[in-house]
Amino acid sequence: MTDPSSQAVVLFASISHALRAEKIIKAQNISCKLIPVPRHLSSDCGVCLRFNLSDRNLLENILQGKLDFFEIMSL
């Protein structure tokens, strides 16, 4: 099992942004998964994209300019 402290999530304003982000990231062969937003975090749409923290800079660079996201947070 993956250590939760080595993971992060991207929060989105809408489910459509979350779905689009998942498609974009997976097309780059980066492991990610849509999950419900953890209770201690908040998001307007209730869904976030979980990924390995080591991919944070890469993921941020890929998404920037392609769609809006609220925040990237470590778990």
Hey, what domains does the chain have and what are their CATH numbers?
4-74 (3.30.70.260)
**Extended beta strands in the chain, E state:** 7-11, 32-36, 47-52, 71-74
pLDDT value, residue 30 = 95
Task: Give the closest residue to 65 by CA, choosing from 33, 21, 31, 28.
Answer: 21
pLDDT tens digits, residue range 19-73?
Answer: 999 999 999 999 999 999 988 887 567 899 999 999 999 999 999 988 888 889 9
Distance from C-alpha of 2 to C-alpha of 43, rounded to nearest angstrom: 24
Instruction: Give the pLDDT of residue 40.
Output: 82
Amino acid at 73: M
Residues 6+ apart with CB under 8 A from 4: 75
